[in-house]
Amino acid sequence: MKNSLVQKVKEAASGEYDGIKKCAVAFSGGLEAVVISSFLADEFKKDVLLVILDLGQSQQTIEKAKGRAKELGLKCIVVDNKNSFASNIARGVKANTFSEGHLNAEGLSRPVIASTLVEVARENRCDCLVHGSTGYGNDQLRMDLAFRVLAPDLHSIAPVRDWDLKRDEEIDYAKSKGLSVDATQEKPYSFDENLWGRIIRCGIIDEQDQEIPEETYKWTVNPVSAPNSPERVIIGFDNGVPVSAFVKGKSQGKESESAKGVAEVVALLNKVGGKHGVGRFHSIEDKVVGLKQAEAYEAPAALILNIAHKDLEKITLTSKQLDVKDYIDHLWTRVVYDGLWFSRLREDLEGFIDSTQKSVDGSVEVELYKGSASVVSRKSRHALYDAYLGRRDSKGAWNQQDARIFAKLYGFQESIAFAVGRDSE
């Protein structure tokens, strides 16, 4: 199997790498990353530098990647990108990106990975940029476009796609080389983890009529097994950005937890939300290439922040703003998801989004309980909601009689149109 795969790969490469001297590889420590790094170093005899990016995944995941780099005998560099990624997450929160049915974790993270890889490559005199994207999804578009924009002078390759590697072939190759990987032929799962969420793919996940195996979840407990008592968290927003979180302590002597700054807020919400089984999803997604693919997610913080942010917008934005922003949010989410982070359109859309967020200040209290996240209260100094006006008892200021003339004039043109329509029949 090993020799036949090597021959297949070299035929696919067809001399393309002859002039390449040193490769900078975006290295996660996963199956594809290990296999393509081994191929480039051992089969193509290239100088390979592995770049591990800390995007808020667990320290255990980072250490595992470092261990596998050492096993490959290749130099690796770890770059802390949490703050840069948190900046992109803030943009996503303002655009309610999660509401499209997927968390956009890769759409938000890939621009950070690409720009960092380019920076490291230049610092270390690499002439080739390597990413592990497949030919099935949108990552290939996100990374390739980023490289064309940021480093048009450097060669870039996506070996899994370019060599048409299949996951079962990769597993067999890793086994034949004695390389440590988590995937097996029986459980060929692929995991992608960062601060914003954890994505689960391949194997039984591809079968749309099958339940996601409980063993694949890591961040969240099964909602059935979640605590029997709810827990509440208060999230503070400034210009639409989540800047603080406070988990209210219980009377049983439990200490409260708090966080400040986007990265810490997201990490805390992932922790407390996961404990209550919040943020599990199984989605069928439309990729740009035309494929529909099944993916599972764990994204407690993404769900909680989306619910809280949209609720705060409801009391701070006008109805007309909300109508237009729903459409703009949808466009922004699609642009980023489709790999067009480096585009004028994204920047143009953010101009409108940022303008609306000037009044989205305040706090939202969310209750977490057995897989659900529900808003229980909210407040803002920019709130357009006025309980004094809306009260229906004697203390309210609204005079219903004033609405009589409004109701008479409302839809006046429509009543004329219906009358004309009847007369002409």
Inside any domain, residue 338: no
Q: How many domains does the chain have?
A: 3
Q: Please identify, among 171, 193, 215, the residue that sits at the C-terminal boundary of a domain.
A: 193
Inside any domain, residue 287: yes
pTM: 0.93
Range of the domain at 143: 2-193
Exposed e or buried b per residue across 299-308, where buried means at least 16 C-beta atoms within 10 angstroms of its C-beta: bbbbbbbbbb
Q: Please identify, among 138, 168, 193, the residue that sits at the C-terminal boundary of a domain.
A: 193
Regarding whether 361 and 291 lie in a shared domain, the answer is yes
User: CB atoms < 10 A from the CB of 99, how many?
Assistant: 16
Regarding whether 33 and 9 lie in a shared domain, the answer is yes
Inside any domain, residue 255: yes
- C-alpha dihedral (23, 178, 198, 236), degrees to nearest 10: -70
Regarding whether 149 and 23 lie in a shared domain, the answer is yes
Regarding whether 218 and 87 lie in a shared domain, the answer is no
Regarding whether 97 and 70 lie in a shared domain, the answer is yes
Regarding whether 233 and 112 lie in a shared domain, the answer is no
Regarding whether 33 and 182 lie in a shared domain, the answer is yes
Inside any domain, residue 151: yes
Inside any domain, residue 19: yes
pLDDT in tens, the chain (425 residues): 667 898 899 888 888 889 999 999 999 999 999 999 999 999 999 999 999 999 999 999 999 999 999 999 999 999 999 999 999 999 999 999 986 667 899 999 999 999 999 999 999 999 999 999 999 999 999 999 999 999 999 999 999 999 999 999 999 999 999 999 999 999 999 999 999 999 999 999 999 888 999 999 999 999 999 999 999 999 999 999 999 999 997 544 566 799 999 999 999 999 999 999 999 999 888 899 999 988 999 999 999 999 999 999 999 999 999 999 999 999 999 999 999 999 999 999 999 999 999 999 999 999 999 999 999 999 999 999 887 777 888 888 888 888 888 888 888 888 888 888 765 55
Residue 48's alpha-carbon distances to 102, 126, 235, in angstroms, are 34, 9, 44
Identify the DSSP state of 342. Answer: S
| CATH number of residue 257's parent domain | 3.90.1260.10
Inside any domain, residue 14: yes
Is 230:273 a contact under the CB 8 Å cutoff? no
| CATH number of residue 162's parent domain | 3.40.50.620
Regarding whether 155 and 34 lie in a shared domain, the answer is yes
Regarding whether 72 and 213 lie in a shared domain, the answer is no
Residue 319's alpha-carbon distances to 247, 324, 398, in angstroms, are 31, 9, 19
Inside any domain, residue 350: no
